[in-house]
């Protein structure tokens, strides 16, 4: 695998590779203008493929290796400096569904831009378009929630920190949902942390504007995927209804409630450093199978307090329609007084109203035109946001219980530079004369999945 240390994209010098995903490579970089660090995600141009749990590690590797190779060529040909135009963020944000058909990889960026004003969502600073890929320049965060939970054991004694982090995640998701964006890939690897333990949601690669999704579409990471996306009973499926564990469902499943399920699993991760099952599929996973027979099994396999069990059993409802609302989850977590049945998390203070407000409603989450992010309540070295949002969350006609096209209802002024896509662009010129370097970076994704696997309660243990 080639690394591009010291190569430059406009004013950003790449310092290391920090991520490798299904359709993107993420680099750490320094802006020579202000010495600030950024993360630059290179997204393959024209990738329209739906990224799903069915994608194996090999495929991920092949895709990123291909992109890596193309980037190497790009840097080589441009003598290690790539000069590339910056695309107007407003015109990306206002892209429509038909634009995504031409430029599918812009959907991730467009949906992300519609919500990045929230304080707990990663801020996009710039989008650069090169001949072979699109570079998303984002604020850089030093760690992710997986590393923090598993490697650093950062939460095992600190119930208040769990509350803060969890409420910030809820707040970010709630904001997305209010703006008609459903993340669909909520997992600890997609939640970044700053030095003050503030959380930032990233990776909108699977996000959608569809209020309802078809069942069994199988997108995301299997640990966090709700059962209706993977394991509804095909045999019992009639033309207009599906069943999940015998519950009749309308043929479409609420996207919002899918994200909610993932949140429930993250709450277990934070409090127990475990995953309850590998996959919410009762034909493939014994733990999940026994859970569907008797939810109190959760208390046998995890050290849950009665209060947390009660909350989890309302979140992890197999029938998505029966799940507790996100707002109620937040209130419950705020007031809960024990997470576990023993140890340091068995006593947790309830949050005062003002602290709850601070974590759950950190910024202006009400308006159509959002004010810049404000970093008010923590010591924060982050610079002020100078982007602005030009589009609103149109009151899209939500075609409920009908198959929906993904989004496509937002409108906005289109640019004049590229009549095909409506994207405005501007050019920043720079120069660089450093050489490429080569080195190996482990595939972090697979390492993390492996670690959680190791920590996961053996799927067969309940049968013993």
Ligand X SMILES: Nc1ncnc2c1ncn2[C@@H]1O[C@H](COP(=O)(O)OP(=O)(O)OP(=O)(O)O)[C@@H](O)[C@H]1O
* Residues noted as catalytic: 185
Backbone angles phi, psi at 323, to 5 degrees: -70, 145
H-run or E-run covering 330 = helix 326-335
Considering the complex, state which of residue 245 and residue 382 has its C-beta at the smaller distance from ligand X.
Answer: 382
**205 lies in the binding site for ligand X (CB under 6 A):** yes
Span 20-39, contacts to ligand X by CB under 6 A: 21-24, 26, 39
Considering the complex, state which of residue 251 and residue 451 has its C-beta at the smaller distance from ligand X.
Answer: 451
Q: How many CB atoms lie within 10 A of CB 297?
A: 17
**203 lies in the binding site for ligand X (CB under 6 A):** yes
Q: What angle do CA 419, 424, 425 make, to 5 degrees?
A: 120
Considering the complex, state which of residue 27 and residue 277 has its C-beta at the smaller distance from ligand X.
Answer: 27
DSSP state of 151: I
Give 326's strand partners.
Answer: none
Considering the complex, state which of residue 139 and residue 404 has its C-beta at the smaller distance from ligand X.
Answer: 139
**133 lies in the binding site for ligand X (CB under 6 A):** no
Segment contacting ligand X (CB under 6 A): 134-142, 164-172, 340-348, 427-435?
A: 134-142
As measured in angstroms, the least distance from the Cβ of 18 to ligand X is 5
Segment contacting ligand X (CB under 6 A): 132-140, 291-299, 350-358, 450-458?
A: 132-140
- Rounded to whole angstroms, how far apart are CA atoms 186 and 69? 29
**183 lies in the binding site for ligand X (CB under 6 A):** no
Span 424-453, contacts to ligand X by CB under 6 A: 445
Considering the complex, state which of residue 44 and residue 167 has its C-beta at the smaller distance from ligand X.
Answer: 44
Name the residue among 194, 52, 68, 178 with its Cα closest to residue 123. Answer: 194
**140 lies in the binding site for ligand X (CB under 6 A):** yes
**What's the maximum distance between 2 C-alpha atoms anywhere in the chain?**
66
Contact of 184 with 148, CB cutoff 8 Å: no
Residue 362 gets the label, from left (phi > 0), alpha (psi -120 to 50) or beta, of: alpha
Write the burial class of residue 272 (CB in 10 Å: 0-12 exposed, 13-18 middle, 19+ buried).
Answer: buried
Among 95, 115, 173, 192, binds ligand X (CB under 6 A): 192
DSSP calls for 214-282: -TT---S-TTT--HHHH---GGG--SSEEEETTEEEESSEEHHHHHHHHHHHHHHHHHHSS-S-S-S-T
Contact of 176 with 111, CB cutoff 8 Å: no
Segment contacting ligand X (CB under 6 A): 139-147, 276-284, 305-313, 381-389?
A: 139-147
As measured in angstroms, the least distance from the Cβ of 6 to ligand X is 19
| Closest CB to ligand X: residue number | 21
Among 87, 122, 186, 389, binds ligand X (CB under 6 A): 122
As measured in angstroms, the least distance from the Cβ of 192 to ligand X is 5
How many chain residues are in contact with ligand X, going by CB under 6 A? 23
Among 110, 190, 209, 334, binds ligand X (CB under 6 A): 190
- Rounded to whole angstroms, how far apart are CA atoms 165 and 198? 7
Whole-angstrom CA distances from 330 to 165, 166, 298, 326, 334 are 11, 8, 21, 6, 6
Among 9, 13, 14, 18, binds ligand X (CB under 6 A): 18
Segment contacting ligand X (CB under 6 A): 19-27, 65-73, 347-355, 364-372?
A: 19-27
As measured in angstroms, the least distance from the Cβ of 190 to ligand X is 5
Which residues would be at the binding site for ligand X (CB under 6 A)? 18-19, 21-24, 26, 39, 41, 51, 122, 138-141, 144, 189-190, 192, 202-203, 205, 445
């Amino acid at each position: 695998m080639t690394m591009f240390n010291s190569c430059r994209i406009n004013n950003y010098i790449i310092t290391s590779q920090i991520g490798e995903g299904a359709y993107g490579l993420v680099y750490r970089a320094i802006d020579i203008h202000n010495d600030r660090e950024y993360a630059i995600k290179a997204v393959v141009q024209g990738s329209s493929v739906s990224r799903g749990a069915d994608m194996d590690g090999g495929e991920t590797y092949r895709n990123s290796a291909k992109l890596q190779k193309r980037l190497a060529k790009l840097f080589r040909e441009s003598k290690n400096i790539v000069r590339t135009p910056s695309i107007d963020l407003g015109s990306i944000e206002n892209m429509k569904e038909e634009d995504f058909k031409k430029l599918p990889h812009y959907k991730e960026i467009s949906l992300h831009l519609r919500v990045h004003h929230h304080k707990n969502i990663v801020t996009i600073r710039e989008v650069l378009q090169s001949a072979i890929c699109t570079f998303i320049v984002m604020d850089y965060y030093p760690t992710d929630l997986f590393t923090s939970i598993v490697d650093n054991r950062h939460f095992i004694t600190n119930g208040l920190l769990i509350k803060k982090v969890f409420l910030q995640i809820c707040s970010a998701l709630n904001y997305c949902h209010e703006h008609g964006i459903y993340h669909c890939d909520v997992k600890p690897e997609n939640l970044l942390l700053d030095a003050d333990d503030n959380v930032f949601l990233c990776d909108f690669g699977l996000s959608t504007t569809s209020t309802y999704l078809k069942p069994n579409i199988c997108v995301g990471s299997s640990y966090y995927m709700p059962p209706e996306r993977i394991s509804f009973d095909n045999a019992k499926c009639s033309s207009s209804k599906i069943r999940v564990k015998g519950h009749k469902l309308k043929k479409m499943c609420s996207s919002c409630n899918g994200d909610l399920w993932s949140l429930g699993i993250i709450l277990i991760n934070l409090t127990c450093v475990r995953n309850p099952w590998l996959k919410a599929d009762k034909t493939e996973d014994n733990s999940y199978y026994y859970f569907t027979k008797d939810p109190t099994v959760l208390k046998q396999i995890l050290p849950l307090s009665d209060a947390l069990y009660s909350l989890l059993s309302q979140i992890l409802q197999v029938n998505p329609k029966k799940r507790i609302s996100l707002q109620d989850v937040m209130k419950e977590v705020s007031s809960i007084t024990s997470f576990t049945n023993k140890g340091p998390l068995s006593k947790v203070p309830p949050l005062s109203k003002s602290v709850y407000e601070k974590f759950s409603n950190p910024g202006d989450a009400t308006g159509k035109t959002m004010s810049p992010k404000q970093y008010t309540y923590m010591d924060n070295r982050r610079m002020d946001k100078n982007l602005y949002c030009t589009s609103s969350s149109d009151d899209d006609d939500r075609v409920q219980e009908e198959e929906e096209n993904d989004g496509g209802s937002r409108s906005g002024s289109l640019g004049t530079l590229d009549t095909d896509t409506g994207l405005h662009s501007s050019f920043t010129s720079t120069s660089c004369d450093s050489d490429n370097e080569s080195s190996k970076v482990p595939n972090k994704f697979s390492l993390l999945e492996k670690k959680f696997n190791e920590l996961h309660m053996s799927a067969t243990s309940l049968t013993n």
